[in-house]
């Protein structure tokens, strides 16, 4: 990034033709620089500098003005909004200019700004200046970046939470806890026992373990946060003609997948975003799982098995259309057992047994089949983690998937834990996760040193590394290449 003392500008809205283009400028003494080119709406009078500077400096000021270039040629009539330093996004003077949304007009404005000594901003440079000027910390800046790029409602919630400083407050609280421990150690390094009391590092262990516990809870929010940001992955799996594609279309409410009565119609994995009750899911339709000699279908089955491995929720769709009533329970159990033997289920996955074509069943039959009975459960593969299985059957049809939708919402709430609440902090980047992991590692090493009755200087050094790692989540990063890496992912104009 270039010097923070020069004035920068960028188009802060898409460059396509639209109603307006919004241009953002940040720097020092902007009104003085740009005022010779700002005219009153009649186009004759140049606005005086005090027209802006005499106004209250704690509020933005908007004016309808004309902008002309150095030759007096009209660029556009615009809305100019002035945000005086330091009460602006960047902490510097900021001007935002809304012009008519023609790229040619924007190009003329940019030409003027370059000719009067400003330069094009680099990606994320406005937000970087906000961080460097103390308007935001680094965690909040990452929250802003995610707020712009996330594609889910859950991601917006987490990003908004981070921008509001919830993560910053939690890391600061833990850092203060570590500073208290460091103060004790430093006191016994610098002063004699008759001045500060006997040295008893074991008394620090409860505080250190408490800090680790808080950090481990924070670390756990990264994977839960991924589910919120990217959506819970729901895979519809089962044998050919089980009704997966019909259910897929029904949930999406439009015909996305081809549906026929020919087994093996679906040959590839289909994926779409699904929102239920403001909960984000990634819904995945898969090829029917069976042994086949068809090369293309075999590739589809392989992709289905790979999809099962990455899914958060596995909906095993079973068609009992041609099964006699007295054999249905055994048939479902057989299908479940076969599926469990064919795939590897992880402990953090959930399996829903989904019975398709409920419209072909009587209500009394559905009622009698709602749950796997205890004897049936005992017959399931002993290596299988029963916590993965939701023992209540879900019945669906083309016209009725409400039970499944509600169960998906329930599981979403279970998997994302308390992150849906605004007051709970969450890690939203791998950088933040790495810093917390380092902090935990250092604290565990420090605990070992305390238990070994090592020197306080050594213990203090390790704990200080943990403190510094936490501090780097919100700031205190002075390496230019690290800052450039973070802000290079931002939009130009942000």
Binding residues for Mg(2+): 245, 266
**Rounded-to-5 percentages of helix, strand, coil across the chain:** 50, 20, 35
For residue 86, is the peptide bond before it cis, meaning its omega torsion is within 30 degrees of 0?
yes
Contact 108, 70 (CB under 8 A): no
**Which residues partner with 397 through β-bridges?**
400
Exposed/middle/buried for 172, CB within 10 Å: 0-12, 13-18, 19+? middle
Q: Report residue 190 as tokens.
A: 């610098």
* Cα atoms in the Cβ-side hemisphere of radius 13 Å centred on 484: 6
Q: Please enumerate, by residue number, every residue annotated as part of a binding site for (6S)-5-formyl-5,6,7,8-tetrahydrofolate.
A: 24, 96, 135, 494
Which pairs with CB-CB distance under 8 Å and at least 24 residues apart come from 411-418?
411/232, 411/312, 411/313, 411/350, 411/352, 412/227, 412/232, 412/279, 412/281, 413/279, 415/224, 415/227, 415/232, 415/312, 415/350, 416/154, 416/224, 416/227, 416/228, 416/232, 417/221, 417/224
Q: In what order do the strands lie in the sheet with 74-83?
A: 38-39, 61-68, 74-83, 93-101, 18-27, 8-11, 119-120
Q: Report residue 285 as tokens.
A: 């339709």
Measured at the alpha carbon of residue 189, what is the angle toward residues 188 and 194, in degrees to the nearest 5?
Answer: 40
Q: Please enumerate, by residue number, every residue annotated as part of a binding site.
A: 24, 96, 135, 241-246, 260-266, 285-288, 494
Q: Please enumerate, by residue number, every residue annotated as part of a binding site for GTP.
A: 241-246, 260-266, 285-288
Contact 11, 493 (CB under 8 A): yes
Q: What's the rounded Cα separation, in Å, for the pair 177 and 179?
A: 5
Other CB atoms closer than 10 Å to residue 476's CB: what's the count? 11
Q: What's the rounded Cα separation, in Å, for the pair 242 and 318?
A: 5
Contact 320, 331 (CB under 8 A): yes
Q: What's the rounded Cα separation, in Å, for the pair 229 and 221?
A: 12
* Cα atoms in the Cβ-side hemisphere of radius 13 Å centred on 22: 11
Q: Please enumerate, by residue number, every residue annotated as part of a binding site for K(+).
A: 241, 260, 262, 265
């Amino acid at each position: 990034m270039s010097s923070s003392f020069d004035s920068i500008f960028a188009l802060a809205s898409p460059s396509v033709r639209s109603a307006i283009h919004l241009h953002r400028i940040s720097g020092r003494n902007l009104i003085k620089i740009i005022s010779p080119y700002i005219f009153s709406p009649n186009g004759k009078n140049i606005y005086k500098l005090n027209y802006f500077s005499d106004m209250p400096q704690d509020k933005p000021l908007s004016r309808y003005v004309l902008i002309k270039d150095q030759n007096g040629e009209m660029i556009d009539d615009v809305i100019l909004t002035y945000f005086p330093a330091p009460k602006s996004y960047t902490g510097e003077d900021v001007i935002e200019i809304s012009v008519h949304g023609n790229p040619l007009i924007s190009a003329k404005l940019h030409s003027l700004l370059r000719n009067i000594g400003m330069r094009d901003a680099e990606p994320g440079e406005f937000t970087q200046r906000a961080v460097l000027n103390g308007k935001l910390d680094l965690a909040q800046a990452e929250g802003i970046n995610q707020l712009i790029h996330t594609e889910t409602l859950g991601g917006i919630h987490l990003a908004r939470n981070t921008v509001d400083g919830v993560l910053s407050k939690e890391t600061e609280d833990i850092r203060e806890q570590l500073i208290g421990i460091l103060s004790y150690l430093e006191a016994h390094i610098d002063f004699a026992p008759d001045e500060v009391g006997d040295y008893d590092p074991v008394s620090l262990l409860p505080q250190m373990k408490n800090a680790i516990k808080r950090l481990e809870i924070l670390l756990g929010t990264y994977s839960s946060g991924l589910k919120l940001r990217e959506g819970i992955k729901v895979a519809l799996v089962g044998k050919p003609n089980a009704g997966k594609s019909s259910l897929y279309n029904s949930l999406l409410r439009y015909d996305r997948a081809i549906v026929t009565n020919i087994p093996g119609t679906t040959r590839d994995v289909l994926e779409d975003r699904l929102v239920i009750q403001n909960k984000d899911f990634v819904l995945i339709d898969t090829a029917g799982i069976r042994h086949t000699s068809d090369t293309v279908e075999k590739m589809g089955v392989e992709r289905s098995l790979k999809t099962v491995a990455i899914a958060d929720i596995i909906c095993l769709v079973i068609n009992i259309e041609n099964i006699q009533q007295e054999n249905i329970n055994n048939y479902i159990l057989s299908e479940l057992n076969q599926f469990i033997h064919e795939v590897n289920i992880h402990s953090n996955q959930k399996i829903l047994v989904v019975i398709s074509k409920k419209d072909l069943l009587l209500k009394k039959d559905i009622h009698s089949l709602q749950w796997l009975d205890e004897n049936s459960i005992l017959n399931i593969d002993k290596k299988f983690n029963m916590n993965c299985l939701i023992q209540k059957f879900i019945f669906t049809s083309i016209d009725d998937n409400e039970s499944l939708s509600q169960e998906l919402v329930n599981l979403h709430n279970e998997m994302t834990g308390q992150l849906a609440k605004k007051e709970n902090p969450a890690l939203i980047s791998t950088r933040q996760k790495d810093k917390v992991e380092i902090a935990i590692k250092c604290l565990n090493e420090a605990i070992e040193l305390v238990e070994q009755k090592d020197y306080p200087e050594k213990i203090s050094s390790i704990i200080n590394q943990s403190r510094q790692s936490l501090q780097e989540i919100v700031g205190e990063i002075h390496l230019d290449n690290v800052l450039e890496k973070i802000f290079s992912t931002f939009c130009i104009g942000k």
